A = this chain, B = another copy of it.
């Protein structure tokens, strides 16, 4: 079925649907069948599961309620591939996703095709009234799948990091990330507007947690023009950063000691006699594991795979602090700011809480974001693993403070004196 006869809005969404769905497959391509089925820790999911779950999302929120006569490929998938939607019934326990050796990868691919076929039918056949209902959820499903594209990479990388071989996910070498000098960029603060304005013309998509747009008062601050680099973070380590409680929040210090942290998650210490590190050709003490395998530490590359605790400790050591999410968003339009969306998610000091007047989506999608609004910190920006076009300045990513396996880095901030005072 060609999409040429569709109204432009439908055709555009249909084409993006195809592109997003295809991109997921291309990301999984370097992984073997076994790679795609294994689960390296309860927080991480198998690549096969991500491929199935993103299809389930379209099935559960669109096909089942909206496509007349829709027949699921397999009724049990509704249980197997629900992630955390209490309103959609019981689900397979998250820590046991790696035991779902069945359906096979081939069957999951067939499931994807089954869902794709019927989504195309739904787009083509629904009337305009239905389309008005369907389109926002279809759009949500695409952004949902893009989030899982990053998670697929993140989780696969964690799996490979657990293997003694430390195999490379990608054959190519990493793109160089010349850092240059970091500059302090100044923001005057005051009453600023933050968040997504759904009513604005050409507003585009945003998750419910990005709104409503609202006013906040900011004091003057300065923010770094780029992210903290591996070379800079290495100096923190060399200065005994991981052995000195004074830099750490109390929970962070307890975690450092309980988990014996000595460096970011994927840093490998050659002096530990790690065979893989030796094999990586590192001449310095540290090698760093990433999408391109284990490579000698690149001092100019942004430091990644660190927790909020480590980010906050580094900032303290550096005589600075993390920005709040409001500061980050206000600063995102400053001239000279770099590495906003393309290197690493940036820990902020802000807890992930609802904005004033926040209303979750209706129905099953109400569980998408709101129920996680405690115990997590907001990250802003985007990473090398974020699909192009997925993120934006109002985007709010979030993880618990001890999470380390994401593409997470940091950008420094500090208080600024008011201008008048400066001139005095």
Q: B-contacting residues of A (Cβ < 8 Å)? A: 32-35, 37-38, 40, 48, 76, 79-80, 84, 86-87, 92, 96, 98-102, 104-105, 159, 162-165, 167, 191, 214-219, 245-246, 248-253, 308-309, 312, 349-351, 353-354, 356-357, 371-375, 377, 401, 415
Contact = CB atoms under 8 A, between A and B. Distances in A.
A34 B251 contact: no
Contacts of A92: 164
Contacts of A162: 96, 99
A104 B32 contact: yes
A101 B167 CA distance: 11
A99 B253 contact: no
A163 B99 contact: yes
A165 B374 contact: no
A87 B246 contact: yes
A312 B353 CA distance: 12
Nearest to A105: B34
Given A34-B102, A38-B101, A102-B34, A217 B217 contact: yes
B100 A98 contact: no
15 contacts: A32-B102, A33-B34, A34-B37, A34-B48, A35-B101, A38-B101, A76-B164, A84-B250, A99-B162, A101-B159, A102-B163, A102-B167, A215-B217, A217-B217, A219-B357
A415 B353 contact: no
Given A34-B34, A98-B98, A353-B349, A216 B214 contact: no
B163 A100 contact: yes
Contacts of A249: 371-374
A253 B86 contact: yes
- As for how many copies of this chain the complex holds, the number is 4
With most chain B CB atoms within 10 A of its CB, the pick from A32, A165, A349, A375 is A375
With most chain B CB atoms within 10 A of its CB, the pick from A215, A250, A312 is A250
Nearest to A359: B415
Closest 4 CB pairs of A and B: A351-B351, A34-B101, A86-B245, A34-B37
A186 to B, nearest CB: 15
A178 B100 CA distance: 35
Contact of A415 (B76, B191, B357, B401): B357
A234 B79 CA distance: 31
Contacts of A252: 374
A260 to B, nearest CB: 13
Contacts of A104: 32-34
Contact of A374 (B100, B163, B167, B251): B251
A77 to B, nearest CB: 11
A259 to B, nearest CB: 16
Nearest to A321: B354
Contacts of A253: 86, 371
Contacts of A245: 86
A253 to B, nearest CB: 7
Contact of A217 (B216, B309, B375): B216
A246 B364 CA distance: 11
A246 B312 CA distance: 34
Contact of A76 (B80, B98, B165): B165
A374 B101 contact: no
Given A253-B86, A356-B415, A163 B101 contact: yes
